[in-house]
Chains A and B, each alone.
Chain A
Amino acid sequence: EPEVTQTPSHQVTQMGQEVILRCVPISNHLYFYWYRQILGQKVEFLVSFYNNEISEKSEIFDDQFSVERPDGSNFTLKIRSTKLEDSAMYFCASISQPRGVAGELFFGEGSRLTVL
């Protein structure tokens, strides 16, 4: 069964360091997302990405965050200068349906980021 894969599964970093989280979406999917979940809190939308550009982003997704699709398979989330409050589980998701058409939105296993 196709799946969204994420690496690393866990990363520990020092405050102020740059972090890149990687995702390989399902191969025929065209719409990609990052969500995050701070421990004990709700899953929150960060950003959506289509056709090599950001479609929507939340207030959380400030200038410290960026996304990129460097090649035909990877989708990355970069945090430029991590803060303690960036500690969370980051989930990548992908879907084949166009915007506005609900479909099966699949999530990866998540990358747990711990900022010390």
Chain B
Amino acid sequence: GNSVTQMEGPVTLSEEAFLTINCTYTATGYPSLFWYVQYPGEGLQLLLKATKADDKGSNKGFEATYRKETTSFHLEKGSVQVSDSAVYFCALSDPIETGANNLFFGTGTRLTVIP
């Protein structure tokens, strides 16, 4: 079956530090992979995605590479800012036969960046 294992948090970093949040997955077939971010009191926002092996998704300085050989999709950012403080969710797709898309989410990693 499908599952996502995400690095446990919380993670606390100083501003301008390097960020890595680990995500590994188990899936049948070839899912698409996503990172979503949830700021306090808000819904989930798509951060980046990758649809096939070796794809690199990137947005706002964040990057993640779809690694089929290690079944991983780790999120990285070279220099975090206080405004990056949020909860980050790794997710994989589980297409529905009607053409819609279900997402399996990891448990989420809370990031706090201190000045």
Q: Is chain B a partner of chain A in the same complex?
A: no
Residues of B within 8 A of A (CB): none
